[in-house]
Amino acid sequence: MNQFTEQSRKKLDIKRIDTDFVAGLSSIPYVINVPDGDWRAWFTDTEKQLLRWDTNGCSQYSSIKTLEAQCNRLLNKGAFSSEALTFFDKNKYLIDGQFNFSIEYNAILSGTTINGNNPIYCFISAQKDGLIPQWMLEMTLEQSQQYNSQEEQDAAFYSVSRVTQAMRDMGRESLKYISVAYQWIGAQHYIQPTFQQMQTAMLQAPLTIAVPVPANVYLWNNDTVSYDGKKELDHCVGINLVSIKVNDAFPFYIYDNYNPFQKRLSRDYYIPQVLQGIVTAITPPVEAPILPLAGFNITLPLSATYPISLKAIVQTYLLQNRLLQDNVATFFMPSGFWGQQTTESVKNYQTKYMLKLTGYIDPDTMAHIQKYG
């Protein structure tokens, strides 16, 4: 059974560093991604941090799992570019349609040992080293059977020699498609954030929290865990807070790395450390080819949201000149820059020729301009 035991008791070295962001005080934009704040649907199968012996990597397991959950949501919402999807598919980042990153890759590169680590360093590793698929680096339960002690197993588990150049290259290539940021929830260290602060944060992303384990560790191995009054973080676990149900007696829904993997913590549970990793899908910029000034042959899409570049300016100038010739322009001369008047002029063109009213150059509008221009 994969349960928390006395041998699992290790201290998490959780300290803030000068460059850390704090929610509400940082440059990280606040975006509501899950309106009800319930992230349970986006988490993949739980990871067991206990092999033959405990790896004591709870902070790293929980950090990577929250990044997986967010990538699963981004995938479902169609946020990744076709280039990114090809990369993930080719390199087998997904298992049964869900992301599965190697936890060991970032755990090793962030300096995790038998004594645990600070979850901040896992997020920093994801920012710098990227993420690789689970199949590239994973110690199995069978492989761990060769070790005769936790010290021997974990020394091998966290050996930097396991990380190959191919893995580093893969991880860094992933940074073309995924951006990772992190921030603390709550401005004061070791002061528990309010319900409202945590709920508001969870509309954007799940939370990685550190909490004390009950003095009787076996009380942790239950579906619901009551707080026993212990405040010392001499021994604690790093887990994911995935939902808060304010009216419940056990309102904090967590994903753990020990069985049972889904637990609920009591309303009065001490949660002094709340960290949030945030994933953003990177969309490569698209530029149109330069067109000859004598002709008009635009490349889609062309609209107010199109990236500003010399190529886009040339195409916009040609379009504006065409709109003037057709007596539908609301401006007096072409500028090469797309503003509200250009949008309105395109709508005038579309109205005049009974085209779908979009305000930008869609395929039908382009075909009409090319045919009659």
CA–CA separation, 322 vs 281, rounded Å? 37
Q: Where are the domains of the chain?
A: 6-281, 310-372
Please state, rounded to an integer, the average pLDDT across all residues of the chain. Answer: 81
Q: Do 115 and 13 contact (CB within 8 A), yes or no? A: yes
Of 15-29, 86-100, 212-226, 284-298, the least confident: 284-298
Single-letter code of the amino acid located at 352? K
pLDDT digits (tens, 9 = 90+) for 184-207: 887 666 678 888 888 899 999 999
- Please tell me the predicted confidence (pLDDT) of residue 301: 47
Average pLDDT over residues 243-252: 87
Q: What is the pLDDT of residues 146-155, one digit of tens each?
A: 999 989 999 9
- pLDDT at residue number 14: 56
Task: Check residue 180 and report its DSSP letter.
Answer: E
What percent of the chain is predicted at pLDDT more than 90? 34
Q: List all residues 6 or more positions away from 20 whose beta carbon is below 8 Å from its beta carbon.
A: 120, 182, 183, 184
Burial degree of 1 (CB within 10 A; 0-12, 13-18, 19+): exposed
CA 247 – CA 253 distance, rounded (Å) = 12
Classify burial at 368, counting beta carbons within 10 Å of its beta carbon; exposed 0-12, middle 13-18, buried 19 or more: middle
250-265, pLDDT tens digit by residue?
999 988 877 788 889 9
Residue 111 has pLDDT above 80, yes or no: yes
User: Which of 37-51, 69-83, 336-350 holds the top average pLDDT?
Assistant: 69-83
Question: Could you give the C-alpha distances from 372 to 290, 303, 353, 365, 368, in angstroms and in order?
Answer: 22, 20, 11, 11, 6
Cβ atoms of residues 35 and 203 within 8 Å = yes
pLDDT of residue 25: 57
In whole angstroms, what is the distance from residue 275 CA to residue 236 CA?
Answer: 15
Q: Could you confirm whether domain 6-281 is CATH 3.90.70.10? A: yes
26's CB contacts (< 8 A; 6+ apart) are: 183
pLDDT tens per residue across span 159-171: 999 999 999 999 9
Predicted TM-score of the model (pTM): 0.71
**Residue 213 carries which DSSP code?**
P
Q: How far apart are CA 114 and CA 156, in angstroms?
A: 10
Q: Was domain 310-372 assigned CATH 1.10.101.10? A: yes
